[in-house]
Chains A and B, each alone.
Chain A
Amino acid sequence: MKLLLVEDEADLQEVIRQSLEKENYLVETADSYALALDKIVSYEYDCILLDIMLPDGSGLDLLAELKQMNKSDNVIIISAKDALEDKVKGLDMGADDYLVKPFHIAELNARIKSVWRRKSLNGKNTMEYANMRMDLDERQVWIEGNELLLNRKEFDILSYLSVNKNRLVNKTALAEQVWGDYMDGADDYEFIYSQIKNLRRKLKENNAGIEIQAVYGIGYKLVTL
């Protein structure tokens, strides 16, 4: 998958690029409106990550250009502005998603995959990994054809970790994703451990080819056995 990252902050661009390359994406970068416009006109991308505030223009103008060229598919806006008007405007102009800085890489990854799945799999929002298959719309999981019964939180944890498979997912990112934004500030997110424990047990009982690893002091990682 080929991505274009439009971000003027060099450090952030670098971190995002490095992280996305771990997913084996081909990542192109642009740090200005002019360069981004040039790339958009010349090439096709599967997904475009667009910062709104650029030194020589607005990302929203780029979005308008994309729309004119009928290329506005798969655009995710990344912005430090989280005012509702900006979000609404960006989404109205055809962006698929809107991510507010600072975000977790895992979250960005999940959004990219979600956008990608929606556009490329004929409406089938499914994921397969090792012997596990997951229907994200129906919220169902099968292991070698047998349905795995999970509660809401277990499902959310498993799907988030699956999207970020083999990647280290920060506890905070997981907690915010599954328990909602309002959980922030709650101690050390130790409470997610009991859900993880149940999930691990269920995976094991069903002979899943995957396992949730704890990474000491930081978070969790989904890997194949």
Chain B
Amino acid sequence: MNLLNYTLKYLSLALLLVISIWAILFYFNMIDEVQDSLDDGLENSKMLVIQRVETDPGIIQRSGFSEHNYEIKEIGEQSGLKFKDRYRDTMMYTLNEEDLEPFRMLTTVFNKDNKYYEMKVVASTVEEDDLVRSLLYSLIWLYAAILVSFLLINNLLLRKIWTPFYQLLRRLKAFRLDKDQGIETTKTGVKEFKELNEAVSGLVEQSVNTYGSQKQFIENAAHELQTPLAISLNRLELLAENEGLTDHHLESIGQVIGTLQRLTRLNKSLLLLSKIENKQYGEITRLSINAIVKNLISEYEDFAEMKSVRIHLEEEGAAELAMNKDLAAVLISNLLKNAITHNVSGGLVKVFINGNSLVVSNTGGANALNQEKIFKRFQKDSREQSSIGLGLAIVKAIVDLYGFNIRYFYTDQHHIQLNFK
């Protein structure tokens, strides 16, 4: 539930409660006022009747609700003396409505010529019913009107006020540490949003800087390592050329060369990774993936033969892409190399190409790999000593660079599917 509706939900409930309580109080107050004025009217009628009785005693006999709004009857002295004025609600038959209708009735007692008379004066309260009804309707309308205006105000005003917040949220969602240089914030007059903007910008800037300097560090370190590595390797090669070295010496030198070469490869891979991530591969040309795959399969023939792995190519369509030639070759060769290296003896590597995807399957290993981790750096199979665990990380970096899509899945074989969108 978004912020606008969230506030609205609680606000409308609170509003309903407040308006209901107010309505009840208002209703009783109103009724009280109406009765008050009715009672005043009845009091007035009573006094008028008593005045008339003084001048025309005959009306005592002529009274009755059928003709007048009062009724007089004689009562005993005892009850007459004790009597107090009494107002009450009652129902009476009315001709126009042909039904019983609510009336207000004043019962009083007066004294005339030492006789006590009880008098009842009535007034119709039919209006009150309508009043209650229209009051209820008014309240419902009022409630609806308030709610609708709240909805509108909420939507217009709050939306406007919260705009910087939502814009910031949108930008944060779209933010990529490896792609964006910083985050752009919207100008706002709200103090909290200003602080939020500042805090986020600061945080993002710091992250971008840290990320940048780390990338820079890897690149520099890799670069600086190249020369000493080259010197050591070249020196060992020179040393190995000396006459009079025993096989044992040569083997030791060979092992050191091997180790240094692994280091060189690691170094090269790190450089390649940072270059891909820094987008230092320009020159994009249109190239045929099928041709590259075929070419690389023939390059890998000897390697596959040594590992007793067969490579089977299935072309369903031609994939043509605009990308850097070297990166395309690195991408595909890493997938192939990976599938051959991690295969079993006598296994099969299947390469399937159509217009928009490339699938490399291999029969190595009976268990599915963790597809979350497989494209991460240094996720290596411990059995493969020479693997440096960067092959698929490089693949992923290239895939990301060109906005392709890659996934790993396992049926009874390992498959890596590359979709060129």
Which residues from chain A sit less than 8 Å from chain B, CB to CB?
9, 11-12, 15-16, 18-19, 22, 80, 83-84, 101-106, 153, 167-168, 170, 172, 179-180, 182-188, 190-195, 215-218
Contacts and interface: CB of A to CB of B under 8 A. Distances in A.
21 contacts: A18-B238, A84-B281, A101-B226, A102-B227, A102-B230, A102-B233, A102-B234, A104-B237, A172-B257, A179-B303, A182-B299, A182-B329, A184-B265, A185-B391, A191-B306, A192-B302, A194-B302, A194-B305, A215-B240, A215-B250, A217-B255
Nearest to B340: A186
B387 A218 contact: no
B49 interface: no
Contact of A191 (B258, B296, B302, B333): B302
Interface string B242-283: 000001001101110110010011001100000000001111
Contacts of B341: 186-187
Interface string B277-317: 00011110000000000001001101101110000000000
Given A172-B261, A192-B302, 12 more contacts: A22-B241, A80-B223, A84-B282, A101-B230, A105-B237, A168-B237, A184-B265, A185-B386, A194-B306, A217-B253, A218-B237, A218-B254
Contact of B234 (A105, A167, A193): A105
B337 interface: yes
Interface residues of B, number: 49
A184 B370 CA distance: 25
B306 A183 contact: no
A183 B303 contact: yes
B227 A12 contact: yes
Nearest to A11: B231
A186 to B, nearest CB: 5
B247 A12 contact: no
Nearest to B271: A82
A18 B238 CA distance: 8
Contact of B240 (A18, A80, A101, A218): A218
A46 to B, nearest CB: 22
Nearest to B235: A15
A183 B231 CA distance: 22
B330 interface: yes
Contacts, number: 116
Contacts of B303: 179, 183, 186-187, 191
Given A179-B302, A185-B391, A186-B303, A218 B253 contact: yes
Contact of A187 (B230, B234, B268, B386): B386
Given A102-B227, A182-B337, A183-B299, A217 B251 contact: yes
Contacts of B268: 184
A114 B257 CA distance: 26
Interface of B: 223, 226-231, 233-235, 237-238, 240-241, 247, 250-251, 253-255, 257-258, 261, 264-265, 268-269, 280-283, 296, 299-300, 302-303, 305-307, 329-330, 333, 337, 340-341, 386-388, 391
B373 to A, nearest CB: 19
Nearest to B330: A182
Given A183-B299, A191-B302, A105 B238 contact: yes
Of listed B231, B265, B337, B388, residue having the most chain A CB within 10 A: B231
Contacts of A102: 226-227, 229-230, 233-234, 264
B305 A191 contact: yes
Contacts of B233: 102, 104, 170
Of listed B223, B235, B247, B282, residue having the most chain A CB within 10 A: B235
A141 to B, nearest CB: 20
Given A105-B234, A191-B305, A215-B250, A168 B240 contact: yes
Nearest to A172: B261
Given A84-B282, A216-B254, A16 B234 contact: yes
B255 to A, nearest CB: 7
B280 A83 contact: yes
What 4 A-B pairs have minimum CB-CB distances, sorted nearest first? A217-B254, A102-B230, A182-B333, A191-B306
Contacts of A195: 302
B265 A19 contact: no
Contacts of A184: 265, 268
A86 B229 CA distance: 22
A192 B300 CA distance: 11
A80 B238 contact: no
Of listed B238, B240, B302, residue having the most chain A CB within 10 A: B302
A9 B283 contact: no
Of listed B250, B282, B306, residue having the most chain A CB within 10 A: B306
B332 to A, nearest CB: 9
B388 A185 contact: yes
A216 B247 contact: yes
A184 B235 CA distance: 21
Contacts of B261: 172
Contacts of B253: 217-218
B250 A103 contact: no
Contacts of B340: 186
B237 to A, nearest CB: 6
B238 A170 contact: no
Contacts of A12: 227, 230-231, 234
A199 to B, nearest CB: 13
Contacts of B251: 216-217
Contacts of B247: 216
A186 B296 CA distance: 13
A218 B257 CA distance: 8
B35 to A, nearest CB: 97
A186 B343 CA distance: 13
B238 A19 contact: yes
